[in-house]
């Protein structure tokens, strides 16, 4: 499909739906952590989703290129993917969904800065910088107040893990845009990441805790994550990434913490405070500025 210079209605709709799913997914991870240890859950999810994506690729005859020029960046994205979710799943163990969501979705900042230096024609303009700064201010304000982790004294550890996970996600987006890895179809890109992360996370998780006290509800939520978040959601993400500008597209990721905060409040009873409401306003304005089309001359 032809590359586009701006986000259009189709791209915006796909991104908003995907970000809502990701926000809800943070709640799902929190709940499944009650039945599975975080790293084991992340590794098992990669295995299950990897099988689904592999079978889908075989059915649609999608080629998974194993040439060196593709395999090297593919392994790099797989490593980023593994560390991203190992960190994120553990972060949600230590802190609230609202806080982990806000910090994890600082990813667009890292993508926009990286794209400015690495991707021709995807440079930061004055308006984009203002928009991104407003959104970052919203993220900072969202963190004011509270700070109690789910385990006493561990909120800061969880916050730092979520922030580091965001840089891993940004690394995937930049590698996918700046290397020959971008020549693969989205499904093949995702398979690389699932396969590499599975062979890293599952063996590592076996050295520690695996199952806790899983119930049928935990397995049902886990299955929903595998099918709707990973198998479908991330394919959509890579499809959008292959068509639209990285910095404009990634700015929509600031919607995900808003959905995460909302679902955390709705489903887990996490407190919705004044700073979260101000953050919603700043992030919304930031997204409008980042994606505003320049006036025709």
pLDDT at 154 over 60: no
Tens digit of pLDDT for each residue in 121-139?
A: 778 888 888 888 887 887 7
State the pTM of this model: 0.83
How far, in Å, CA of 11 to CA of 275, rounded?
30
Give the CA distances from residue 222 to residues 103, 214, 225, 229, 235, in Å, rounded to whole numbers and listed in that order. Answer: 23, 11, 5, 10, 18
pLDDT at 153 over 50: no
Strand partners, 211: 36
Tens digit of pLDDT for each residue in 174-226?
A: 998 899 998 888 889 999 999 999 999 999 999 999 999 999 999 999 999 99
- Domain ranges in the chain are 9-290
């Amino acid at each position: 499909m032809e590359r586009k210079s701006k986000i259009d209605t189709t791209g915006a709709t796909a991104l908003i739906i995907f970000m809502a799913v990701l926000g809800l997914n943070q709640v799902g991870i929190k709940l499944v952590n009650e039945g599975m240890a975080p790293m084991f859950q992340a590794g098992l999810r990669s295995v299950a989703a990897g099988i689904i994506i592999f079978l889908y690729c075989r059915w649609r005859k999608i080629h998974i290129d194993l040439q060196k020029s593709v395999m090297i960046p593919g392994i790099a994205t797989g490593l980023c993917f593994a560390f991203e979710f190992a960190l994120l799943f553990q972060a949600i163990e230590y802190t609230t969904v609202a806080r982990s969501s806000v910090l994890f979705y600082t990813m667009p900042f890292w993508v926009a800065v990286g794209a400015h230096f690495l991707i021709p024609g995807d440079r930061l303009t004055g308006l984009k910088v203002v928009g991104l700064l407003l959104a970052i201010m919203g993220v900072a304000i969202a963190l004011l107040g509270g700070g109690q982790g789910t385990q006493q004294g561990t909120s800061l550890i969880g916050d730092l893990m979520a922030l580091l996970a965001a840089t891993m996600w940004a690394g995937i987006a930049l590698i996918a845009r700046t290397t020959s890895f971008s020549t693969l179809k989205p499904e093949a890109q995702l398979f690389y990441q699932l396969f590499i992360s599975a062979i890293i996370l599952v063996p590592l998780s076996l050295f520690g805790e695996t199952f806790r006290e899983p119930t049928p509800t935990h397995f049902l939520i886990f299955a929903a994550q595998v099918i709707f978040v990973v198998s479908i959601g991330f394919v959509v993400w890579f499809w959008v990434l292959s068509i639209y500008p990285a910095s404009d597209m990634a700015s929509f990721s600031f919607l995900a913490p808003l959905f995460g905060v909302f679902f955390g409040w709705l489903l887990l009873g996490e407190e919705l405070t004044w700073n979260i409401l101000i953050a919603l306003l700043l992030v919304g304005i930031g997204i409008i500025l980042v994606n505003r089309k320049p006036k025709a001359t």
